[in-house]
Structure 1
């Protein structure tokens, strides 16, 4: 793009900058949301709760299923499938 093109599109610079910021924030949010480490930590903590007797088997099974479903969602996302 030449200097004339840059001058003509200069008023759109804030819009392009805002779009870039939105893309960056979205990428960081997706990386954090689809990080499996917190889910694995929650599974370890859940097992500790079961072993110590703070929760029963039924509660453990329910919460474990939720966490395993979350890991499945993360795996689908990482393979490129839509959530």
Structure 2
């Protein structure tokens, strides 16, 4: 019975391979999003852009909040609703 099911499921092998590859890519992306060094580097780039005058203070705050929200979402946390300061 195992041989018959293996032969019948052989046409699905490419699909299983694509699914496996997709899961592997997803795992790598999640690891990169959760990497504290990557988050810090992105926040430093935002600060550098603000210091160079490419971002206003409000844009800088929004970009930083976006990075932190994404980090919290990828870590499985919940994000606080946006509040006006």
In the alignment, is the contact (CA less than 8 A) between 2:33 and 2:39 conserved in 1? no
Find 1:71's aligned residue among 68, 71, 75.
68
In the alignment, is the contact (CA less than 8 A) between 1:43 and 1:67 conserved in 2? yes
Structure 2 length-normalised TM: 0.60
Aligned partners of 2:15 and 2:42: how far apart in 1? Answer: 40
Aligned to 1:14: 14
Aligned to 1:33: 33
1:13 is displaced (CA, Å) by 1.0
Uncovered stretches (5+) of structure 1, i.e. residues with no partner: none
Greater share of helix: 1
In the alignment, is the contact (CA less than 8 A) between 1:43 and 1:64 conserved in 2? no
| Aligned-CA RMSD value | 3.1
Partner secondary structure for residue 79 of structure 1: coil
How many corresponding residue pairs? 77
Partner secondary structure for residue 56 of structure 2: helix
1:7 is displaced (CA, Å) by 1.4
